[in-house]
Structures are given as structure tokens and as C-alpha cells.
Amino acid sequence: MKHLHRLALLGAALACAGCFQMTTIVHLNGDGSGTIDHSMLITKAALAQIRQFSALGGRGQTIDFVSEEQARKMAATLGPGVSYVSSEAIDTPLGEGRNSKYAFADINTLRISSQPEVPGGISVKTQAFSTNSNTITCSFARDPNGNAILKINLPELNLQGALGNANTGDAGITQQLAMVRALLAGARILIGVEPAGQLVKTTSPFVDGTRVTLLDVNLDQVLANEALIAQVQAAKTPEEIKTALTGVPGLRIALEREVTIEFTPAK
């Protein structure tokens, strides 16, 4: 019954995978400690389906994406030494969710997911996306001049695997793209870092005040861009993919595998 429960929940999660809006902002101090503000909003239709499946498979015991219990459990997935601080529920006409705050003593231990966590520790892999190998890790050090240097290791992009390759054939591309649009309809993801102090420089092209954006994606807008999809599908080199993704409306993403942030810590 436990396995049936997980399969049912997995099916619901896959069917509603795109019905979310996720924001993760890391606030970093000069000593490598800091906090994480994490927000997750899921449409009410998606939540109703997930709760129904989890109740049927778990003898009435539900697993909820947006409960305080799940917010507390998420601390363990963010890395050793990360602690849950607080959270508050969100209830809007669009959906339900939770704003949560976590604290960490050493950013070198953080493991930040670029996709929503699935309750129950289920590992999800489909042709369109994966909840494995999507972890953002960090390396922090102080320069002799007193500045802090943060190096952020980003997951490898696999857009051709998600959207299909030109060699797949027109019918295969159309079917694959329809599946991706259905899975990711309405999804929005924002991940950024805000150092406490004066930003000196960063290799990310997206800076708003002290916030350095690693990923900011409106998937409805991106997947509706037929010209972009055609370019990505036809690309033969990583450089051609990067060129296709530059300046695309609804897509702000650091395209290098490593992003560096240098800042002068606040005193």
C-alpha cells in the first residue's frame, strides 16, 4: 500500500508539475552564513488532486506540498546544518502556498534545488525534466583584501533533451513539445543571491540592486516562443544554444556553469 501511495502521489505530481510558482532567495553574510527565503505557490486545482491521491494511497493520511510540516522537512534537503526558522501560509485566488525562512552557518554546505521538491523523497525522472542532478552548490572564501568571493555551480542545461532535437522528426518534436507545455503550463521559477554588503562584480548578467539572479523563468512565455524552440532544437553546439537563449523575453538565466559573485561585506 505504501508503494501504491507513492505511485499515486507521483502521478499527481507529474500531472500538475507546472502548476507552481517558486522563488528562492539566498541572503549571504560576509562570514559565509545567511538565510534563505523560499516561497512556493501551487494552484488550488493541483493541490486538490495531490491531496486526493495521497489520501487514497495513504489510508487517509495526506502529504501536502505547502504544509508547515513539509516546510520543516525541507531544511534537511537544503544541506547539513540548515535549520528551519519560520513560515507563513499563503492563500490567494490563484492558489495556496507557504513563505518559509531557513538559516545556514556555512554556504559551502548548501544544496539548492532548481525545481520543487516532491513530498516523500520520491525521485522523479521523465523525458522532460528530472528532480535529480538539478542541485546548485556553492564555494565561499575570503580574499586577502577582505572581499568575499562566492562561486556558484549551476546544473547543466539540457534543453534539447526536454524540447527534442531536430533529428527526432517533425511528429516527434510536436508530441514532445506538447508534453512539455502540458507539464510546465503556468510554471515560474526565480532563484537569486543577495549578498550583505557592496556588490563589487559578478559574472551573472542579471543584477537588480544587490540581487544577483541565477534563474528567472516564465515557462509559459518561453514555451510559446516558436522561434526560440526551433533554434534550440536545431542547435549543434553549446555556443549555438547560448546564443539562442540570449535576450529571450521571459528568460533570464546565467548560461555559464559557474557564476562568481564578489562583494565587500557590510560592517
How does pLDDT run along the chain (267 residues), one tens digit per residue? 344 344 344 444 444 445 778 899 999 999 999 999 999 888 777 777 766 666 655 545 555 667 899 899 999 999 999 999 999 999 988 788 899 999 999 999 999 987 766 554 444 443 334 444 578 999 999 999 999 999 999 987 665 555 554 444 455 555 555 655 655 666 788 999 999 999 999 999 999 999 999 999 887 787 778 788 788 778 788 788 888 888 888 889 888 889 999 999 998
Q: Are strands 34-43 and 95-104 parallel, antiparallel or unpaired?
A: antiparallel
Within the chain, residue ranges assigned H as helices are: 2-15, 44-57, 68-77, 159-163, 170-184, 219-223, 226-234, 238-245
